[in-house]
Structure 1
């Protein structure tokens, strides 16, 4: 009888440890996927610090987003061939560059001729 209790105790401890590990994994995954959305309100770079303007062409359908992440709200989409004026670029957490369209939002440089603005934003 005593041996049966020890086995049950070890099994319960193993189940509890596994449940704790799964909870931590789910929590970390949820945090990681939710984090970019928190940065979708990326402030516009100040014109005084970023006086540059370059014009590029949309290589394909190019979504303009509220922030520099694909998860950010899409404000509009420029059709391929549209000329788009940009000010400067930033690099997001994934290593992707995004150019700022003055007064409008952010566009992923992969959608732009010349890979977007050559000027890094001063923020």
Structure 2
């Protein structure tokens, strides 16, 4: 069973000391998101399957929120291939939508059972 990572808010000491935080312009945010969209190797190592935990969830081209969406899943069954831990410490499962050849990455927090159990 894989482990989820939990992070504490490291910015509190800075805020208490009077530091100010600024937002980057949207053009910089897009460049950061695009740079964060990696495409790690994957293979079908997991025999598991599952469903999304909410009403819909995006299937993406890479294991990061900044990656483009391949499809939006509405209650379809997913067949799991494997998982990775992205640069933010979150686990993402590579999966295929049942009855299709559509596959991609889905954030494990969107899955009813935390996704694949085999690392890529």
Q: Into which bin does the TM-score normalised by the smaller protein fall? A: 0.5 to 0.7
TM-score by length of 1: 0.62
Instruction: Specify whether residues 112 and 67 from structure 1 end up closer, same or farther in structure 2 by C-alpha distance, changes over 3 A only.
Output: same
1:54-69 residue pairs with structure 2 within 5 A? 54-60=48-54, 61-69=56-64
CA displacement at 1:39 relative to structure 2: 4.7
| Alignment check: 8 A CA contact 1:44 1:100 kept | no
Runs of at least 4 residues of structure 1 off by over 2 A? 32-36, 38-41
> Which of these two proteins has the greater Rg computed from alpha carbons?
1
Secondary structure of residue in 2 paired with 1:69: coil
Equivalent position of 1:13 in the other structure = none
Say which structure is richer in helix. Answer: 1
CA RMSD of aligned residues (A): 2.6
Unaligned residue ranges in structure 1 (runs of 5+): 1-25
Unaligned residue ranges in structure 2 (runs of 5+): 1-23, 97-101
Equivalent position of 1:82 in the other structure = 76
Query: For 1:59-91, what per-residue CA distance to the aligned partner results, in whole angstroms no more than 9, with x for missing partners?
Result: 121100010011110111111x32111111000
Secondary structure of residue in 1 paired with 2:113: helix
